[in-house]
Amino acid sequence: MELRQVAGSGVMRADQVFRICEDLDIDSETLMLKLVPLAAAFGVAPVSSFRVGAVARGQRRNGNGFSALYLGANMEFPQQALCYSLHAEQAAVANAWTNREPGLTSLAVSAPPCGHCRQFLYELHGCGTLSILFPGGARNNHCELDISELLPGAFGPMDLGQKGNMMAATSTPQPLRLQRDNRDHLILRALDAACFSYAPYTGNHSGCALQFKDGSIFSGSYAENAAHNPGLSPLHAALSNFRMACGPGAAQDISRKLARCVLVESAAAISQRAMVTTLLSSIAPGVAPEYYPARIITV
């Protein structure tokens, strides 16, 4: 079976991982590293022309002890500052998160993650046991390091009185309600994404949903970081989930494919609204973002 065919949707199910590992007589770590170049094919790099891939392994296991794999790739935005760029590791996490994985056990990359991504990954639920795999070394021709080894003396959520359970929101979403009731399906998808967001530092629970002219809908959740900058905006997550689900090249001509963009967020000292407007203007200037405030429901 062609790996490219199986990984074309950005997700390899646990049963597929088991079958391929059996057919090729390899372990799942080796398979993850083989998938990194395929993940990089999803990259959008109009600025650097340098595509980067990453492959994340989820925590959930099937009866054979295998877990699903989630591909991610970098994404750059023309005419925008470099700080708007999405890293491959962030994209892989967003892919796993939108598929409701409660956490990750390992992440494969072509080289050790940059400092930005090390800080981002340190915010994950169970990050103390997260292994980073990359080529080289004596163990099965690859190196394996814990994120704590890659980020010594780390500043993280515990320094701010938080547990750092970014993906744990999968099992404990924050209940939200639109300030004005609305039955529009796209708005409700954005609301659902906001409920699954991770915003322990500001309470700005937010989600973004994109509807394309073919009727397909993709959403993404906001993720904060103790160090602020290495977070993940809801629009970045939604855009990344769209291209990872639709295959390499899906992001081409997005301005002609995108019909609507909805942002839902709860009131806080910060807002995603200006960022969404700015970023959307660079990829789909003909689409105006729709904005719907929500309020937190105390349970």
Residue 112 near residue 215, CB atoms below 8 Å: no
Nearest-angstrom CA–CA distance, 108 and 65:
19
C-beta neighbour count of 298 within 10 angstroms: 5
User: In this predicted structure, what is the pLDDT of residue 263?
Assistant: 99
The whole-number average pLDDT for the span 243-249 is 91
Question: Across the chain, how many H-helices and E-strands are there?
Answer: 10, 11
User: In this predicted structure, what is the pLDDT of residue 126?
Assistant: 66
With a cut of 60, say whether residue 93 has pLDDT above it.
yes
* DSSP reduced 3-state for 180: coil
Nearest-angstrom CA–CA distance, 66 and 299:
36
Query: pLDDT band at 141, cuts 50/70/90?
Result: confident
Least confident of 51-65, 84-98, 102-116, 146-160: 146-160
Phi, psi of 270 (to 5 degrees): -125, 170
Topology agreement, domain 3-166 and domain 171-296: yes
With a cut of 60, say whether residue 253 has pLDDT above it.
yes
Q: pLDDT by residue (tens digit) across 146-192?
A: 988 999 988 988 899 887 788 876 678 899 999 999 999 999 999 99
Residues labelled as active-site residues: 89
* DSSP reduced 3-state for 198: strand
Fold annotation for 3-166: Cytidine Deaminase; domain 2 (3.40.140)
With a cut of 60, say whether residue 1 has pLDDT above it.
no
User: In this predicted structure, what is the pLDDT of residue 230?
Assistant: 95
User: In this predicted structure, what is the pLDDT of residue 5?
Assistant: 66
SS3 of 94-131? HHHHHCCCCCEEEEEECCCCCHHHHHHHCCCCCHHHCE
Query: pLDDT band at 206, cuts 50/70/90?
Result: very high
User: In this predicted structure, what is the pLDDT of residue 142?
Assistant: 84
Domain ranges of the chain: 3-166, 171-296
User: In this predicted structure, what is the pLDDT of residue 4?
Assistant: 66
Query: pLDDT band at 251, cuts 50/70/90?
Result: confident
With a cut of 80, say whether residue 3 has pLDDT above it.
no
The CB-side HSE value for 61 (13 A sphere, CA atoms) comes to 6
Q: Between vectors from CA 155 to CA 114 and to CA 124, what angle results, nearest 5°?
A: 65
Percent of the chain with pLDDT over 70: 94
User: In this predicted structure, what is the pLDDT of residue 6?
Assistant: 62
Q: What is the mean pLDDT of the chain?
A: 92
Q: pLDDT by residue (tens digit) across 37-82?
A: 999 999 999 999 999 999 999 999 999 999 999 999 999 998 899 9
Nearest one of 236, 190, 235 to 72, comparing CA atoms: 236
With a cut of 70, say whether residue 140 has pLDDT above it.
no
Residue 278 near residue 80, CB atoms below 8 Å: yes
Least confident of 151-160, 183-192, 218-227, 277-286: 151-160
The whole-number average pLDDT for the span 262-271 is 98
Domain 171-296 class in CATH: alpha beta
